[in-house]
Amino acid sequence: MSDLRATAAKALDRIVRGASLRAVYAEAVREVGDPRDRALLAALLHEGCRWWLRYDAALDRLLERPVRKREPVLHALLVLGLVQMAVMGLPEYAAVASTVEAVRALKRPAFAGLTNAVLRRWLRERATLDAALDADPITRYAQPEWLLQALRADWGNAADEILVANNAAAPLVLRANRRRSTRDALAARLAGAEVAAHAIDHLGDALALEHSTDVTRLPGYAEGEFSVQDGAAQLAPELLDLHAGQRVLDACAAPGGKAAHILECADVDLLALDQDPQRLPRMRENFARLGVTARVQAGDASAPDGWWDGNSFDRILLDAPCSASGILRRQPDVRLHRRQDDLPTLVATQARLLDALWGMLVPGGRLVYATCSVFNRENAQQVAAFLTRHADATALPDGVPAWFGRPAGAGRQNLVGENGMDGFFYAVVEKSA
């Protein structure tokens, strides 16, 4: 177990320095055989990222000479030691002992005494330290100042609810593959394996699991009976209003979840496009497991001359690159990596994609614009600017069902945790015939 925490500390240090949590975990977990240890490693990394800004700051209060710069992996291990006790609720004695042993596993035995002293000081002074950390919104919510300010500018009093929701673990939601099963049949099969799940209102294919687990070990996974997908993302095919024989473009398709759902819902001619060629093999693997077929192609949706054959599309889905501000609970490393300066570039990219794709849509066709963002400049304001630029574009406010989130300009915005779902925005736009 000490080696596991040493592995987690090295991985967390890499993530804090800019690596993706998902990629680092995929690499680190190869060293871990026991499924229970894999689950603990995932929990350590997710909670370590989620609460880094709080317990990184706590160490400045606990250490006379911080080790952040001279021993960064040890610093990450100390953060994890605090997280185990303060967030994960692991037994205090076990958390302290295993963290001290991990120091030795990291070949830093000289720091074993320091580690023991720091963690035990936290236990003695926890009430006072918690009060000091809670006094500052940045350390109370463990989210960067620019994010707090942006949320309050857009959502006022609701911002604190979003900040709290960002720190809750996201539910694990499955999407039944209606070409191979049904939601009820999948629920029954899971129940037979003693896996508890419940249906999500308004979504015909969605099942939320009561407890997170390794989905690849669930019955039906290998047979392609389901995928993992948050409920908010499962709304896309309904908004597209699909009919057999239509030409459909998923313009930013990787890793292919929405594209696969489209193919599960209707017999359409789908082009799954993504700018990054390295992401295409994984998308093809997902399609093969689910038993669906699409044309998969690399290309920049904003530069159609490089890939488009000139034949227009009846339906276009643009799940645009965005700040990912709506999925911090699911991808907690976003709060460590995203910067305020990223937003102007993202907004410009979204506008460029919308303008380019509009020219590929048939008259009378429908474009669905989606982001996993909660920022108005990426969502309601982006769509409003697009409608101003294109006189033949008409937004359909009723195109997104009223149960989903709240009105946001010409679309609807689901805030983090609303309806049990991620923060997500949708707008439906039709082209004049």
User: Which one of the listed residues 49, 252, 322, 372 is annotated catalytic?
Assistant: 372
CA 167 to chain centre: 13
What is the spatial distance between Cα 239 and Cα 432, in angstroms, rounded to a whole number?
18
**SS3 annotation, 336-373:** HHCCCCHHHHHHHHHHHHHHHHHCCEEEEEEEEEEECC
The CATH number of residue 179's host domain is: 3.30.70.1170
For 402, the token pair is: 């009223």
Same domain assignment for residues 271 and 378: yes
Q: Which amino acid, residue 301?
A: A
Same domain assignment for residues 266 and 338: yes
The CATH number of residue 96's host domain is: 1.10.940.10
For 55, the token pair is: 């317990």
Same domain assignment for residues 273 and 179: no
Look at the chain and report how many structural domains it folds into: 3
Same domain assignment for residues 98 and 69: yes
Same domain assignment for residues 262 and 327: yes
Same domain assignment for residues 224 and 361: no
In terms of residue numbers, what domain contains 273? 232-431
CB of 410 within 8 A of CB of 383? Answer: yes
Same domain assignment for residues 330 and 384: yes
User: Which among 184, 210, 228 is the end of a domain?
Assistant: 228
User: Which among 190, 205, 228 is the end of a domain?
Assistant: 228
Same domain assignment for residues 118 and 238: no
Same domain assignment for residues 274 and 400: yes
Number of H helices and E strands in the chain, helices first, is 17, 13
Say which DSSP state 180 is in: T
Is 144 domain-assigned?
A: no
Same domain assignment for residues 39 and 59: yes
For 25, 111, 157, 161, 325, the CA distances from 332, given in Å and listed in that order, are 13, 29, 23, 17, 10
Same domain assignment for residues 261 and 358: yes
Return phi, psi of residue 26, to 5°: -60, -35
Residue closest to 150 by CA, chosen among 163, 167, 139: 163
CB of 183 within 8 A of CB of 264? Answer: no
For residue 367, what pLDDT is reported?
98
372: annotated active-site residue? yes
Map tokens 């696969």 to a residue. 260
What is the spatial distance between Cα 333 and Cα 130, in angstroms, rounded to a whole number?
23
Query: Which SS3 state, helix, strand or coil, does residue 412 take?
Result: strand
pTM: 0.95
Is 146 domain-assigned?
A: no
User: Which among 228, 251, 275 is the end of a domain?
Assistant: 228
CB of 367 within 8 A of CB of 431? Answer: yes
Residue closest to 112 by CA, chosen among 81, 84, 86: 81
Same domain assignment for residues 353 and 323: yes
For residue 1, what pLDDT is reported?
52
Is 165 domain-assigned?
A: no
Is 288 domain-assigned?
A: yes
CA 363 to chain centre: 34
What is the spatial distance between Cα 332 and Cα 83, in angstroms, rounded to a whole number?
14
Mean pLDDT, 10 residues at a time, the chain of 433 residues: 88 98 94 87 97 98 95 98 97 95 96 97 97 98 98 96 96 97 96 95 95 91 97 97 98 97 98 96 96 97 96 98 97 97 98 98 98 98 98 96 97 96 98 93
Query: Which SS3 state, helix, strand or coil, does residue 393 take?
Result: strand
Is 147 domain-assigned?
A: no
Could you please report the per-residue DSSP string of 200-262?
-TT-TTEEEESS---GGGSTTTTTT-EEE--TGGGGHHHHHT--TT-EEEETT-TT-HHHHHH
What is the spatial distance between Cα 174 and Cα 282, in angstroms, rounded to a whole number?
19
Is 306 domain-assigned?
A: yes
* Bridging pattern class, strands 226-228 and 173-176: antiparallel
The CATH number of residue 365's host domain is: 3.40.50.150
Is 166 domain-assigned?
A: no
Is 20 domain-assigned?
A: yes
Map tokens 């015939």 to a residue. 433
Query: Which SS3 state, helix, strand or coil, does residue 391 take?
Result: coil
